[in-house]
Homo-oligomer: A and B are copies of this chain.
Amino acid sequence: MTNKEKQTEEIIAEAAREVFVEKGMAGARMQEIADKAGINKSLLHYYFRSKDKLFDFVFSKIMGKIGGMLQGIMQEGVSIEDKIGKFVDTYTDLLSKNPFLPNFIFGEITRNPDGLIKRFASADIKPNQLLDPLQRQLNKEGYTIHPHDFILNLLSMVIFPVVARPIVERIFFEGDHKAYKEYLLSRKLSIVDFVMKALQGYK
């Protein structure tokens, strides 16, 4: 593959990522992707053959990246509180830059769950490598909460406010984007605070 091919392919993939994430598979238009990439519509087919294949390429790449981040954080050998802090910090920043990402991922996977299995395999995600170390660590530090509950509660509090952004933004801040964005950043601290206070009850 020549440099030019590689470069064009990446430009297309990035444009496709933006459009797919914002509009979803069904709502995305090949014309809009081509426009955003600054190339002709038929070039999309030259590089990726079909909309389906282009979508698969983009989606797998996203899943691999996110899974890798999570694995990296969970394996670091620090205290629960530090691990939580690092996790909340990293994902809050990621979602701050990609506010459409959660809705996109959960929406697409919900509408095509079978495709998920294939992608987990190719992205090389090992669920047990995430859960087992955490379970051992909770045990060692003397917390009796079930790791499923713990990790799901934490994920919920970080990701859900981004998923429900337009509604919550309107109810809490009368639609003030900037105020809500600042509030989400302030939650970096208040989520860790909330979770640690809860954990005290499981000692």
Chain A positions within 8 Å of B, measured between CB atoms, are 22-27, 100, 102-103, 105-107, 109-111, 113, 116-117, 120, 127, 130-131, 145-146, 148-149, 152-153, 155-157, 159-161, 163-168, 170-172, 175, 183, 187, 190-191, 194-198, 200-202
Dominant SS among interface residues on chain A: helix
Taking A156-B161, A160-B163 as known contacts, 9 extra A-B pairs with beta carbons closer than 8 A to each other, sorted by chain A number, are: A22-B111, A24-B107, A100-B110, A106-B167, A113-B166, A148-B183, A153-B191, A195-B198, A197-B198
Show 18 residue pairs from A and B whose CB-CB distance is below 8 angstroms, ordered by the A residue: A23-B26, A24-B24, A24-B26, A24-B111, A26-B26, A27-B27, A27-B111, A106-B167, A113-B166, A145-B194, A148-B172, A148-B183, A153-B194, A156-B159, A160-B163, A163-B163, A196-B201, A200-B201
Residue from B25, B103, B105 within 8 A of A106 (CB atoms): B103
Closest chain B residue to A146, Cβ basis = B190
Measured in the bound complex, the distance between the Cα atoms of B38 and A185 in whole Å is: 50
Measured in the bound complex, the distance between the Cα atoms of B157 and A183 in whole Å is: 18
Task: Give the Cβ gap from A17 to chain B, nearest Cβ, in Å.
Answer: 16
Interfacial chain B residues near A168, Cβ < 8 Å = 152
Task: Give the Cβ gap from A168 to chain B, nearest Cβ, in Å.
Answer: 7
Closest chain B residue to A99, Cβ basis = B110
